[in-house]
Structure 1
Amino acid sequence: MKDSQYVYVQRQDPEVKAELWLPVDGKRPALLDDSRYGRRELTPLDEPASVNNPNYRYVATLPTDPAALLALIKAQTEGRARAPSTPPSRRSTGWSPSRSRHRR
């Protein structure tokens, strides 16, 4: 994939239908369109790609060996890797809403 392209993700459950377009390079705004809040642009966080702030390019470099992947996660989270306490529908995507471009 080219850095100028986007990855498309669609999610549908009983409560919400959402479509997400994420830039491959993680440097440009993403677009989220969901049935609760409408369409909005998401601004990338100003921090490098990591386990906690992944993008397509970063994920493509992750080890495929489960033990090596777990070791990397533990190293990047300083051994504090744990299950998230926030429900999946409210977890951060590594992006923040861009208030100036919010559309309903």
Structure 2
Amino acid sequence: MYEVAMSPLARRRAQQSAITPELIEVVLEHADLEFRISKRKAAIRLSNEGLSALREERGGALAERAASVVLILADDVVALAMRALGQPASRYGKRRR
């Protein structure tokens, strides 16, 4: 295992969401969906096909935990780790109040 470059906010949010460093590495390694948020930021996660491949390779328990994990990358650093909840259209966009 290697150390993943993460922002302090990403570490805190990952801990709050029960996302382990192993799970972050698995998502970084197997992610096959990328959503551009801005010029420098992208959200990555696993598709259903990617989850099937991960399930065959590493087992069902890890694949089920990785299914809802979304990582926001900024300049190849994990800026935020979160669970995928809510509508997909509003999940990655800017929050307006």
The alignment's TM-score, normalised by the length of structure 1, stands at 0.29
In terms of fraction of residues, the more strand-rich structure is: 1
In terms of fraction of residues, the more helix-rich structure is: 2
**Structure of greater Rg:** 1
The alignment's TM-score, normalised by the length of structure 2, stands at 0.30
Comparing both chains, which one has the higher relative contact order based on Cα–Cα distances under 8 Å and sequence gaps of 6 or more? 2
